[in-house]
Structure 1
Amino acid sequence: MTTSPPTPTPGPIDATRPDGTATEIFGVFLKLGLTAFGGPIAHVGYLRQECVQRRRWLDEAQFAQLLAVCQCVPGPASSQMGFAIGLFRAGWRGAVAAFVAFTLPSALLMFGAAALASRLDHGMGAAVVHGLKLVAVAVVAHGLVNMARQLAPDAPRALIAAAACALIVLAGGGWAQLAVVAFGGALGLWLCRDVSAPAAAVFPVRYGSRRAAAFLLAFLIGLGASLVQPSSSTATMGSLASAFYQTGALVFGGGHVVLPLLQQAVVDTGWVDPDTFLAGYGSAQAMPGPMFSVAAFLGAEVPLGLPAAAGAAVALLALFLPGFLLLLAVLPVWSGLARRRWAASAMAGINAAVVGLLAAAFHDPVWRQGVHTPGDVAIAVVGFTLLAILRVSALWVVLWAVGAAIAVRQLL
């Protein structure tokens, strides 16, 4: 009987070997952008397989530490990890190549979905849109349960999550999201003092603390500009960029957490109606690559009086940019910051508050806009079961919910 040879254990990065190229990075991440279904958690598995096990660009310890960094700063964690791996491997060109290759397929697909959205407001198209809303119900419920288990596993953090949810439901408004994040961090310093800090690691970055400070300053300038931009029911390119930049700057946890912030950015302002918003979010579940590519759909839907492609591009870049700037600011100083206990406590509180944000978004608009009949409840429960118990890809949930919604419409 023959046995396959054992998989070699990846060693640490060899700083003396030649760097990779942007072309190499682009090819690897384009493959991931076309095939990486399943959301941020699944993406981490794909990245580990391609970059640690297969190509040995990082060792296991570096990969784990990079994941910890990306979970501790706002932004899309899997995209940030890809951006950082490209940076480590091939410098700035590698970082840009990783981002473009991983994001472009899903962004183009979401832009195409926006082009078809106007044809889905009646007949069979309306059933498809309703099915996509029920996909959002199942997916967000599953994400909420998983995040609550991981980020609010004890009484203090559960209390922070519940308080954050209550504040959002009662207060709402543009500043409520930011206030809840700050509130969570402050309570974390008090209630989460027993949370242990992760082990520190040094990353192979090619710049120091001065450039890191410049990236942090750029992030803060962008955030300040986005906060002072007046909110209006009439969208402009500046207000669109500001709304999506502010969203990207406040998304701790990535993935489904972007939902309540995007709702505030484009639905509460009247730029996009709730039905279209949830249909776009549901469509994103069927796409490979980062969920943040839903920005291409929403940017194309915002009425700017300009080509839809311009709105899609601005929304997409504005949503990703703050997370990348913060990541670049943190990488050189991570080893020192991670050793500080207060940082771990504050982040634990912020993450718990994020669970509350997502719970409030699940209540409104996901459930209120998506579920209207007992049949809707049944479709959503089956979708949740497929994700939580059978652990299938979200793509199967899309097929189930849309197919069931069409079948129900035909029967009626």
Structure 2
Amino acid sequence: MSAAPRRPGTALEVFRVALRLGLTSFGGPVAHLGYFRHEYVDRRGWLTDAEYADTVALCQALPGPASSQVGIAIGTARAGYPGGIAAWLGFTLPSAIALAGFALLLGQRDVTGPGWVHGLLIAAVAVVAQAVWGMSRTLTPDAERAGIAVVAAVAMVALSGAAMQVVTLLLAGVYGWLRWRHLEVSAPRVAPVEIRYRRLAPLWLGLLVGLIVVLSVGRALSHEGSLLSLAEVSARAGSLVFGGGHVVLPLLERGYVPQWLTTDEFLAGYGAAQAVPGPLFTFSAYLGAKAAGVGGSVIALVAIFLPSLLLVWGLSPYWDSLRAQPSVRAGLRGVNAGVVGILAAALYSPVITSAIQSPWDALLAIGCAALLIVWHRPPWLVVLVAASGGAVLAI
């Protein structure tokens, strides 16, 4: 949250701008950051390019949805804590409402029946394949980091489970710290800017730790399928996701399937999430709605984003010194490589194993992946193609 507002703003002003972005920002986190820069830097002048780059650097180093965190940081700098909440609400509500509505519309219908729903599963294959391809080029550019990703993928396929994901990321981070901590990694410096409410930063970090402890203990003491369990699964996913929104897929899948949803229901919602604007984390609104109706949707949505909000508020005052530490940057190298492996394992199972049931399914998935990777078509168009193709194949 390095940006200082040029003049005090209001939460309503922030909400209006964020709502427009939430209605029009298609294309995933990278595209979102482009939309944000145009709106907040070029059009409105709420912060400079250097301040914007510094804010993006902070949010990309934190677990959680980077684009949403950037919006929260800018909204907080503009209009205080109410501005941060307004920025999150405006950017999140359009896609959250759409996906929760989709879940309620499906109701208890058997999603294995309609061909177009099966097409959404095939769209998920293409989208996750694109994510693995793009992230591997960025986060595993050399043989050593590619090796970390391969080991992580094999471990996840052989020893599946939510706990294994945490262990894999921890081990990858420790390896990165041991291997690269002595390298001289220079971080670009940006002139320090005043951060309001600096004294409250430890409070937000304390609340985050308390949230995780309370939800973990509460889930252990409550019955399976409770709303507390649902909140814990979502909050845990929101606390552990490094490397982009698609990485949330395996974390949520381990928590929600088969307790609340079938694999087909899960992947159908994930495919639908590619067709709406805004953050991919609003997929949790679909999951919560399928699990426990409107109340479950609200709980899952708030729980998955709350760690991100508290992290941005709690760590932003310390970011300038933290990011200059070689040990922190070295650990993140390992974690990011491990993330690629975890996502690659999820591409195999459950995504491919659930969606590809015939050679025609495979051809449709390859074609959709080519639309994304080779011809750079937008995800919403690929979802339409996959759904239409699935309907045709079902005839």
Task: Work out whether the TM-score is over 0.5.
Answer: yes
Which residue does the alignment assign to 2:7?
18
> Of 11, 24, 32, which aligns to 2:21?
32
1:314 aligned partner, one-letter code: I
Offset of 1:230 from its aligned partner? 2.5
1:184 aligns with 2:176: no
Deviates more, 1:248-257 or 1:220-229: 220-229
Offset of 1:204 from its aligned partner? 4.0
What's the CA shift string for 1:294-341, capped at 9, x where partnerless? 111100111x4xxx1100000000000111111212100001111111
Change (3 A) 1:347 1:107: same
Does the CA contact (< 8 Å) of 2:3 and 2:77 recur in 1?
Answer: no
Unaligned 5+ runs, structure 1: 1-11
2:160 aligned partner, one-letter code: G
What's the CA shift string for 1:331-382, capped at 9, x where partnerless? 0000111111111000111111111110111111001001111111111111
Identity between Structure 1 and Structure 2 (%): 42
Which residue does the alignment assign to 1:153?
141
Change (3 A) 1:368 1:232: farther
Which residue does the alignment assign to 2:356?
371
Which residue does the alignment assign to 2:128?
140
> Of 388, 393, 401, which aligns to 2:386?
401
Spell out the pairing of 1:8-407 with structure 2 (5 A cutoff). Answer: 17-118=6-107, 121=110, 126-193=114-181, 194=183, 196-201=185-190, 202-208=192-198, 210-228=199-217, 229-230=219-220, 234-268=224-258, 270-302=259-291, 304=292, 308-407=293-392
Aligned length: 391
1:132 aligned partner, one-letter code: L
Give the distance between the partners of 1:323 and 1:189, measured in 2 at CA.
24
Does the CA contact (< 8 Å) of 1:197 and 1:338 recur in 2?
Answer: no
Change (3 A) 1:112 1:356: same
Does the CA contact (< 8 Å) of 1:76 and 1:290 recur in 2?
Answer: yes
Does the CA contact (< 8 Å) of 1:292 and 1:319 recur in 2?
Answer: yes
Give the distance between the partners of 2:369 and 2:193, measured in 1 at CA.
39
Give the distance between the partners of 1:195 and 1:158, measured in 2 at CA.
22
Give the distance between the partners of 1:288 and 1:211, measured in 2 at CA.
33
SS of the residue corresponding to residue 230 of structure 1 reads: helix
CA root-mean-square deviation: 1.9
Change (3 A) 1:265 1:14: closer
Change (3 A) 1:121 1:371: same
Give the distance between the partners of 2:98 and 2:84, measured in 1 at CA.
22
Deviates more, 1:155-164 or 1:354-363: 155-164
Offset of 1:233 from its aligned partner? 7.8
Offset of 1:159 from its aligned partner? 1.4
Does the CA contact (< 8 Å) of 2:175 and 2:334 recur in 1?
Answer: yes
Give the distance between the partners of 2:162 and 2:223, measured in 1 at CA.
14
Give the distance between the partners of 1:57 and 1:272, measured in 2 at CA.
43
Change (3 A) 1:203 1:84: farther
Segments of 4+ in structure 1 off by > 6 A?
none
Change (3 A) 1:117 1:14: closer
Does the CA contact (< 8 Å) of 1:151 and 1:352 recur in 2?
Answer: yes
Calculate the TM-score normalised by the size of structure 2.
0.95
Calculate the TM-score normalised by the size of structure 1.
0.91
Change (3 A) 1:245 1:92: same
Unaligned 5+ runs, structure 2: none
Does the CA contact (< 8 Å) of 2:162 and 2:251 recur in 1?
Answer: no
Does the CA contact (< 8 Å) of 1:195 and 1:344 recur in 2?
Answer: no
Give the distance between the partners of 2:17 and 2:320, measured in 1 at CA.
28
2:205 aligned partner, one-letter code: L
Give the distance between the partners of 2:38 and 2:283, measured in 1 at CA.
26
Does the CA contact (< 8 Å) of 2:169 and 2:339 recur in 1?
Answer: yes
